[in-house]
């Protein structure tokens, strides 16, 4: 059978689990009898660069020498459950592996880590720079890897090559790979999809922006559109995500992590400054019947150490369903603070179903700020939920957001007070400075300016109405919030580079 399409996950994203979007496409293609090949160029490329850097170079400083010498042992440590019993051992392994990867990027003027990729000369938010990356693919640190890998794949003469680009950290590498393919086989059709592409489309960016390199751009769910491009009638055949062709042994986690989406979009969609609402992405949940059949089958087939539920927010209906129909493996995901989570018995039912961690977007410890942001969160409920989760042994990974338009320094102090008061119930913290989305319908009263130069920028800077600008918020965060003796230990618990992807493993031991 002639190879129809190659689906590629480009570097760089956290190499802890396979990409769910491509697995979903793979299941659809398989169900419809389309020949395809999967390349997780992210995890393959990272392994390639690590090996080349560690075993083909001599480095003068002690840290680099140690990191290169112990590379294989450190990778094995990140894939070993025992390592997660000792945070210091984990941190050493993660930092040393990252050190080797960092060395690989230096000759190319790139800042390369286990979770990010930037270039000193090129910005992924500028289409002109993405085109430059495509025109000069050999200037990319992954070029020695992908040139050989893609050359071999092209021998099978695929008609299409699809790239799934979900993060800015993938964009430059994706376009470097696209440019290489164009050089060796100009006739292949290049398709670009993924959540970043969906966000670009909401800004009005189309394939004409990348003329000569991109043949098609797919925004949103890609199954039906991809089949249409391939000339296959979309028969609405039921298909499950397919992870058969991903290199399970390559991922940097202690066991296979199974990503699974029970819905697309967000069921709340009410938050001010929410890009989901501005981009008009509908909420499309799978039926309970499909989830209850599909998820346990995937667990049985792949025997994962952990299920990562990718929903923007697990609805109360979904949480109740998980409690009543456990997937058969430990799981975690993002949830909104709801009345259900304030109930000890309900939280206990989640624990019994396999829940090891919930990510909670509390955002602020000031109720007035939450109300103005239309978060739909009551701080009393947040307090009860944190205590209930703690009581039953479910870890709380709490998201806090500083510098929002309604926040002032007094509000930030209230957030610190709330965090301190619940420090015994908060296992991990994600601390962020607010970015104003370009695609937004609630910023009319704000004076805005370019966040950074780039026609593909998803964010705008703004003049804070109370003068509580990004720098003030950042100073408070770094000099006051993080240094509080009740907060500092929580911050130290955060897994380096992998953050929430590895956090559950520290609670499963």
pLDDT, residue 269, reads: 75
Pseudo-torsion of CA 122, 123, 129, 135, nearest 10°?
Answer: 50
Mean pLDDT computed over 290-306: 97
Other beta carbons within 10 Å of 5: 22
pLDDT, residue 451, reads: 58
- What span, in angstroms and rounded, lies between the C-alpha atoms of 390 and 394? 6
- What span, in angstroms and rounded, lies between the C-alpha atoms of 116 and 170? 8
Per-residue pLDDT at 334 exceeds 60? yes
Q: What is the 3-state secondary structure (H, E, C) of 240-268?
A: CCCCCCCCHHHCCCCCCEEEECCEECCCC
- What span, in angstroms and rounded, lies between the C-alpha atoms of 483 and 472? 16
Domain locations in the chain?
Answer: 1-233, 255-507
Nearest CA-CA partner of 32 in 221, 242, 233: 233
More confident residue, 491 or 459: 491
Do residues 172 and 122 touch, judged by C-beta distance below 8 A?
A: yes
pLDDT tens digits for 225-257? Answer: 999 999 988 766 678 999 999 999 999 999 999
Per-residue pLDDT at 111 exceeds 70? yes
Per-residue pLDDT at 1 exceeds 60? no
More confident residue, 452 or 80: 80
Instruction: Look up the CATH number of domain 255-507.
Output: 3.80.30.20
pLDDT tens digits for 195-219? Answer: 999 999 988 899 999 999 999 999 9
């Amino acid at each position: 059978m002639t190879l129809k399409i190659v689906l590629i996950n480009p570097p760089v994203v956290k190499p802890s689990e396979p990409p769910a979007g491509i697995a979903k496409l793979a299941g659809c293609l398989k169900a419809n009898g389309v020949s395809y090949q999967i390349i997780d160029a992210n995890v393959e490329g990272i392994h390639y660069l690590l090996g080349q850097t560690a075993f083909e170079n001599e480095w003068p400083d002690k840290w680099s020498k140690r990191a290169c010498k112990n590379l294989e042992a450190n990778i094995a440590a990140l894939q070993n459950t025992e390592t997660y019993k000792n945070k210091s051992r984990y941190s050493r392994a993660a930092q040393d592996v990252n050190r080797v990867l960092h060395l690989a990027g230096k000759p190319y003027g790139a800042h390369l880590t286990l979770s990010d990729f930037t270039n000193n000369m090129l910005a992924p938010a500028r289409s002109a720079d993405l085109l430059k990356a495509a025109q000069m693919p050999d200037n990319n640190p992954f070029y020695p890897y992908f040139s050989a890998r893609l050359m071999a794949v092209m021998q099978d003469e695929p008609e299409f090559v699809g790239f799934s680009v979900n993060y800015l950290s993938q964009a430059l590498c994706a376009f470097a790979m696209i440019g290489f393919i164009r050089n060796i086989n100009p006739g292949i059709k290049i398709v670009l999809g993924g959540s970043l592409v969906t966000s670009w489309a909401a800004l009005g960016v189309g394939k004409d922006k990348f003329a000569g390199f991109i043949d098609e751009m797919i925004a949103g769910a890609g199954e039906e559109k991809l089949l249409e491009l391939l000339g296959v009638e979309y028969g609405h055949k039921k298909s499950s995500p397919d992870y058969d062709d991903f290199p399970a042994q390559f991922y940097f986690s202690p066991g296979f992590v199974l990503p699974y989406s029970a819905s697309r979009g967000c069921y709340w969609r009410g938050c001010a400054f929410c890009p989901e609402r501005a981009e008009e992405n509908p909420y499309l949940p799978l039926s309970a019947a499909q989830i209850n059949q599909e998820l346990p089958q995937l667990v049985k087939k792949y025997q994962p150490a952990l299920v990562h539920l990718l929903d923007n927010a697990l609805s109360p209906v979904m949480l109740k369903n998980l409690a009543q129909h456990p997937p058969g493996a430990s799981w975690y995901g993002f949830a909104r603070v709801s009345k259900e989570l304030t109930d000890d018995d309900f939280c206990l039912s989640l624990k019994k179903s396999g829940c090891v961690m919930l990510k909670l977007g509390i955002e602020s410890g000031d109720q007035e700020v939450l109300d103005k942001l239309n978060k739909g969160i009551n701080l009393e409920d947040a307090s009860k939920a944190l205590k209930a989760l703690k009581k039953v042994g479910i870890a709380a990974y709490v998201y806090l957001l500083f510098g929002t338009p309604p926040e002032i320094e007094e509000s930030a102090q209230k957030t610190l007070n709330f965090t301190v008061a619940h420090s015994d119930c908060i296992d991990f913290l994600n601390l962020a400075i607010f970015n104003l989305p370009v695609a937004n319908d609630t910023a009319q009263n704000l004076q805005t300016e370019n966040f950074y130069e780039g026609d593909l920028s998803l964010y705008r800077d703004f003049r804070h109405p109370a003068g509580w600008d990004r720098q003030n918020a950042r100073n408070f965060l770094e000099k006051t919030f993080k240094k509080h003796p009740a907060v500092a230990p929580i911050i130290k618990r955060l897994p380096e580079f992998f953050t929430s992807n590895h956090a559950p493993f520290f609670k499963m031991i």
